[in-house]
Amino acid sequence: DIQMTQSPSSLSASVGDRVTITCRASQDIINYLAWFQQKPGKAPKSLIYAASSLQSGVPSKFSGSGSGTDFTLTISSLQPEDFATYYCQQYNSYPLTFGQGTRLEIK
Amino acid sequence: QVQLVESGGGVVQPGRSLRLSCAASGFTFSRYDMLWGRQAPGKGLEWVAFISYDGINKYYADSVKGRFTISRDNSKNTLFLQMDSLRTEDTAVYYCGRSLSFDYWGQGTLVTVSS
């Protein structure tokens, strides 16, 4: 199984900050990586697919990069609605696997 | 717009069965692979099962293999998850999702396995 490791597990930031979350795969997943945002009590929402492609309707303040085993999600100019938990997911091979999540909190 | 609406969750005793449904609308259901995922209380996301657009190919997480069965009815735009021999560790919110990259998620349905 491919293990997905996110860092950091939690992050405190201020409104207006730019933050980066990292996701590392235990083996090459090419670019078969997605990023999700989840708010408490809500379903996850897709942000990025194929490592760097923005889902329709997602603001351009979200961006993804990387290939192979190392990937990043960057959020620029944080707003109050961006404070949530973020997950990465690989879909290169079964079983599909998620990172453990990164909780982004207001400082 | 794409909509996925799960139903069928509830409280069930260990060893019993439950069948979840996911009604899809706003897209051509028969052209898309579909997934089930879940999230235990206070935990992260876990993939459960995959079914190809035509219902031919199916894959399962090891944790549910042999107990859960994914299926679909393309004539009714509906995805199913038959859950047998339920265990307390299956307690979670269950989500249906579209495509391998989960580009759309339903709102989820809570399954509680408890005696």
A contact test, residue of B33, B101, B107 with most A CBs within 10 A = B101
Strands, E assignment, A2-52: 4-7, 10-13, 19-25, 33-38, 45-49
How do residues B50-98 score in pLDDT, each as one tens digit?
A: 999 999 999 999 999 999 999 999 999 999 999 999 999 999 999 999 9
Q: What is d(CA B57, CA B12) in angstroms, rounded to the nearest whole number?
A: 29
User: Can you give the pLDDT at residue A45?
Assistant: 98
Q: In chain A, which residues have their Cβ closer than 8 Å to the Cβ of B27?
A: none
Q: Is the Cβ–Cβ distance between A13 and A107 less than 8 Å?
A: yes
Query: In what helix (H) or strand (E) does residue A106 lie, and over which residues does it extend?
Result: strand A102-106
